[in-house]
Structure 1
Amino acid sequence: MTLSKNNIKILVVIASYGVNNDQYLHQLIDEYSSMPYLVDIVVVSNIPKALGTEVEVVVGLPSKNPWSLPFAHKRIFIERQDHYDLFIYSEDDTLITQQNIEAYLQASAVLNSNEIPGFLRSEQGPDGTIYYSTIHSHYHWDASSVCRRGNDIFAFFTNEHGACYILTQDQLRQSIASGGFDVKPHEGKYDMLVSAATDPYTQCGYRKLICITRLEDFTCKHLTNKYIGRTGLEKSQVEIQVRAMLDIAKNGGPVPAPMSVESKLLGTRWTKSYYEPCRNDLVSMVPEGTKSVLSIGCGWGKTEEALLKKNIQVTAIPLDTVIGKLAETKGIRVIPETMEAAPEILAGEKFDVLLISGLLHLMDDPVAFLRNYRELLIDDGVIILSCPNLKHLAILVRRYMGQPDLQGLEDYQKSGVHQTSHRVLCSWLRSAGFVVEQVEQVIEGRWKTYNKYTLGLTKGLWASEFIIAAKKRAS
């Protein structure tokens, strides 16, 4: 899209619920008003707002659910699709700058017709440190998506939510024609609030790509900085991942497929986190005198780093090659291979302990996996694993009530997760040639009270997770 700045007509719609973010809303309005474009601003809200004569305010929710407010922007875009060159949607605390807009136009010109430029969100801590709040939990870079378009390198990041998006007129028209844009408020992979901002990518046939060679141009500020200290990845850590992807683009060739970390359930429940905090409970179960540990499904390596500090040699098979680079910076030996290929690569080596955190319930054939890796243990070696309890009382009750986010849980092919419990996990281990030696049941919050009143006799109903240690059985 090639237009003079003075001729570009932009329609901006901002979703603003209540008054808590009004200070940021005014900052957004000032930013757009200062741009050298022909900009019209519409604010959709649940209440009237006095924002001046230059800003149109549309009051009303698309449905009774307060979280449906962001969907109000879609009808406005559809009705005015013929009158603007660019369409910008954002939440009232997410700042899109002129630099972002110009970078978007440049990227759109070189991407394929089914690809669309996207943005990550960042926050700034009190000391000036930048954190990418988009990057957390199970969300990760797809190493196989790294590609060159024009003079830049792009990649897909699995968290499509950025609390904003931009569409050209052609992209909006294609989104509408797909049938996935003009829809009622809904939720699925993301909750209702987030789905409104991700539908162009998840329902309209577009693949959102992030330009990693110009990442700052494709980063939007989250003005509230409310996730600092709770979630998000420090900029220096993101830069390590970007360098890893640039190396992939430079070297060419296939990259090992990542491990499966997501379920198929609504909201992607019971996922494996790439950024798991140090699991001191797992570290404490590693036997005294252990010299070597093989960690299977390593993320950024916090738990593995704690083992290194105990003078234990740690080898890790990472969730993917990009996250493996963060583990490497901590001194961990990383084997950048698939979960299936790694045992052959490591053939001839023996380890004192196998460590698997929060992954086994997602595997297609857990018993075959355990048998395969059992061969890498010394004769009296130990496997330590953690796994969610999908027989928790709260889950059983919600399933009985027919909650939609748990539909299909009984079928691995539909849900992508096994219904793990203490009995199921122990059965898998025995079938794979292990003898269970220790079971810890992780009980959190109010469930501790229930456990106390039942004298600990029904721990399996209250535990959110099991941690199990088992020894390799003699052949």
Structure 2
Amino acid sequence: MIKALAVLVNYGSEQLSYLEQVVKELNNFEKYEVTVIVQSNISLNIEGIDHVNVMQLEDYQLLPLTCREVIWNHRDDFDIFLYGENDHLFKEYHLDNHIKYSNLLPDNRISGLIQYEFNDQGNYYPAYHLDFDWDFQSVEVFDNKVFAHFNNVHQATFILTKSQLVEIGSRINFKELVNNERSFSQKILRRLRKKLNLKVEPLEKYSVKCKVNTDIFEFAGKKKLICISEFEDNLIHHLPNLYIDGDKGRLKLRSDELKMKKSLNQLLGTNKY
């Protein structure tokens, strides 16, 4: 049986019902012996969690990063590793697919997931916001499976095999966030573009919390690809469905199902969706 380590982050008590659902699903995996560790700022009493590390931090934006440290410290103890926020529902086929794709993709590629929410009108995709979109020139085919790159690499999760974890850890400090300060010449160019009223990219595209997973896809020499020919199997549910209707102050994002279907058909060159 494959030994899997799932390290989840939890802050406060507001989303414990989602955490319970995520942990229950992980414990129902049949092909994997899953150990669940939760990094939390409060004590937890949830069936199925193997260990809770209650963390006292000055800045709780760094709480998710402590998950990467746990994973790195256990790199020799498991075959596959999962990181996730407490409200993203891992399914067993996510691990199956990651292993399958890892055996197909070149070493400088890594498979990923797309977040989704849903209501009675269909699926919604929070990654579709600001200027984020598919790279329509990125289509690659491996063993008759079609992959493409979505340039918002945030997915609030990651899955890594042991070999991927070790390789990534040789490229970045896995226990720390990557400092993405631009070079002096880049900063000068940025100022010049701003002076000329040209588009200026932000120094950081992602928040501290998001960088816990985006660092893996941005700075470790592995381009993130989504298997779009098996698209439905590479979605991960954001359980609160907050972005669909703008609940709890969240902005409703331009993430409708029609836009996604049109993009996928363009990428695939078919009318599959």
CA contact (8 A) 2:5 2:36 kept: yes
- Matched residue of 1:111: which SS? coil
CA contact (8 A) 2:9 2:67 kept: yes
CA deviation map 1:349-399 (0-9, x unaligned): xxxxxxxxxxxxxxxxxxxxxxxxxxxxxxxxxxxxxxxxxxxxxxxxxxx
In 1: Cα distance, 2:48 partner to 2:115 partner: 30
Q: TM-score if structure 1 supplies the norm length?
A: 0.49
2:42 paired residue among 44, 47, 55: 47
1:186, CA displacement in angstroms?
6.2
Quick one: structure 1 residues 108 and 21, their matched pair in 2 at CA, closer, same or farther if it must change by over 3 Å? same
Q: TM-score if structure 2 supplies the norm length?
A: 0.84
Counterpart in 2 of 1:237?
259
CA deviation map 1:227-270 (0-9, x unaligned): 003014222321111110112xx9xxxxxxxxxxxxxxxxxxxx
Counterpart in 1 of 2:65?
71
- Matched residue of 1:28: which SS? helix
Identity of aligned residues (%): 30
CA contact (8 A) 1:186 1:195 kept: no
1:202, CA displacement in angstroms?
1.4
Counterpart in 2 of 1:200?
216
- Matched residue of 1:124: which SS? strand
1:185, CA displacement in angstroms?
7.9
CA deviation map 1:321-349 (0-9, x unaligned): xxxxxxxxxxxxxxxxxxxxxxxxxxxxx
1:179 matches 2:195: no
Quick one: structure 1 residues 143 and 176, their matched pair in 2 at CA, closer, same or farther if it must change by over 3 Å? same
Note the aligned Cα RMSD (angstroms): 1.7
Counterpart in 2 of 1:32?
26
Counterpart in 2 of 1:452?
none
In 2: Cα distance, 1:103 partner to 1:222 partner: 19
1:59 paired residue among 51, 54, 63: 54
- Matched residue of 1:23: which SS? helix
1:55, CA displacement in angstroms?
2.3
1:46, CA displacement in angstroms?
1.1
Q: Give the 5 Å matches for 1:381-420.
A: none
In 2: Cα distance, 1:184 partner to 1:190 partner: 11
- Matched residue of 1:43: which SS? strand
- Matched residue of 1:227: which SS? helix
- Matched residue of 1:19: which SS? coil
The letter for the 2-side match of 1:183 is E
CA deviation map 1:122-160 (0-9, x unaligned): 0012x2511111122210111121111111111111100
Counterpart in 2 of 1:131?
124
CA contact (8 A) 2:24 2:48 kept: no
CA contact (8 A) 1:100 1:217 kept: yes
Quick one: structure 1 residues 232 and 106, their matched pair in 2 at CA, closer, same or farther if it must change by over 3 Å? farther
Runs of 4+, deviation exceeding 6 Å:
none
In 1: Cα distance, 2:69 partner to 2:218 partner: 18
- Matched residue of 2:159: which SS? strand
In 2: Cα distance, 1:157 partner to 1:60 partner: 34
CA contact (8 A) 2:178 2:215 kept: no
CA contact (8 A) 1:89 1:166 kept: yes
Quick one: structure 1 residues 132 and 138, their matched pair in 2 at CA, closer, same or farther if it must change by over 3 Å? same
| Larger CA Rg, structure 1 vs 2 | 1
CA contact (8 A) 1:25 1:92 kept: yes
Gapped regions of structure 1 (runs ≥ 5): 1-6, 251-475
The letter for the 1-side match of 2:111 is P
Quick one: structure 1 residues 21 and 159, their matched pair in 2 at CA, closer, same or farther if it must change by over 3 Å? same
1:99, CA displacement in angstroms?
1.7
In 1: Cα distance, 2:151 partner to 2:102 partner: 20
The letter for the 1-side match of 2:129 is H
The letter for the 2-side match of 1:98 is E
